[in-house]
Structure 1
Amino acid sequence: MSLPPLAALRAFEAAARHLSFKKAATELAVTPTAISHQIRLLEETLGLRLFDRAPRQVQLTNAGQELFPVLRDGFHEFSRVIEHLKRRKAQRSLTVSVLPSFAAKWLLPRLPRFKVAHPDIHLSLHTSVDVVDLAANSVDAAIRYGAGPYPGLIVQPLFFEHFAPMASPVLNVQTPDDLRKTPLLNLKWLHSDAMTPTWARWFDTARIRDADLTTGLAFSDDTHAIQAAIAGHGVVLASFEMTVQERQSGLLEQPFGPQIRGYQYHLLHSGKGARQAEIQAFGEWVAAEIARDKDR
């Protein structure tokens, strides 16, 4: 590119915007003489007169009127992009891998409060049920559900999950007898053991016999099962911790107990890498949210 000197272009843009060499000089922290010199240099480079000069004012020529908006818009765009890049460099980032159900039912409704508490941290969520490599650079930390152990990782226990029957108020499930007459929504768990929250385990804990456990729809995703319960398709054995908003809003109710306990959620990270301060801030915020739920 063959362009005139940047200083001359800046001087012209400021003088054209103010229609004053003096005001342009004040803005650019130079003397009016310096502004005049830069504009003459630009005019000589272009071989065109850009200003009509009078004793107390200047006016743009036709060439000046053509050049001014191009430079004005160009300098504005330069400034916008440079400020954006500076802010992005200053912003801290954190990528956390979470289970899709945990993201949808627990984390996402609370994220506005994280943004208020940590406006300088840009949080990215990686939603997956797969094992992630926390030694790689793509993910800084993970929230996982299970018994553990998690060898080689820093582990912050979060909370145990508890499960109980949840139903839409329109079904009017009030007693265990009502439960026997209502479709039971079932979840297909990838892995099942003695801690898996199944209807069979719940009925055994509740000491309720002769219940038909195959009357309702079956789901592979608990968020879909919860939505089906809200729609009145049956009763779901849902996580007490994952249905806080649904119960508070009256979409679901827990008609009776008992609750059965599941596994615990943990925040995991390698203890290495450049995001340790951000991981600590995120972990402290999650712990504060858990305490907030207990106080309700």
Structure 2
Amino acid sequence: MPLLLEPFAAGFVQRGLVVGVLVALVCAVVGTWVVLRGMAFLGEALAHGMLPGVAAATLLGAPAIIGAAVSASAMAAGVAALQRRGRLSADTSIGLLFVASLATGVIIISASRSFATDATAILFGDILAAAPADILLLSIVAALTLVLAAVGHRSFVALTVDPRQAQLLGLRPRLAHVQLVGMVTLAVVAAYQAVGSLLVVGMLLGPAVAAGRWTVRIVSTMAIAAAIGSASVVAGLLVSWYTGTAAGSTIALVAVLAAPLSALLRGLATLRARTAPASPEPSVERTP
């Protein structure tokens, strides 16, 4: 037990833990919808789409979070515009903008000879460098995410089950889709500080997929995913502390590994339930 608690005696690890749990909460809520709606590719594209904005903001001396928000929002708007006005499919539109954003980010980074450290933080995160301001920002983002998810829950469910029926019910599925994309953008921008733009999709997908093995209810999936994500943060920080690995990358890997581990445990539980002998019925003595 002392070995488990020792790392969390350090103030920077405590701040990293709080930031990680808040990220896990946001990603659990949004990631559940990402998995249900099949929006994983969009989430990955938005994560990479932040790179040029963050790089430009860093070079200009502006807050990186602003650059990330502007760049990811531009990426989401570009995907929506291509889908609405052109004849391109969703995957094709996302793929084109994904490559363009990634290439632009690399070009901006290569223009500066002293960008190596900042680039590493952008790509892989630096959760142990979290400041009180980051905790405050993530707390606001988490609260906003919960409010948006609660307000739009009915529309999101109808959109996922049957968009045409949602339209007939007056739930405006196009607006609901825009709101979902906005929530994914918000989650990606908020989480990149902790695990970086390359690994943020792991926090979105891993816990949500793992939670889906144990329940079919959406709200329950979100709650279990939040617990799994938080546990991944704790485990990742511990492994990182004792092995000297990058904290953000370790957390993301643990979150991803939670999916196959959950599938294995669920399979074992199902097999055990099927092979368990039936309990004998209690005998009842009859009096003459």
TM-score (norm 1): 0.23
Higher strand share: 1
Q: Which has the higher contact order (CA 8 A, sep 6+)?
A: 2
Structure number with greater Rg is: 1
TM-score (norm 2): 0.23
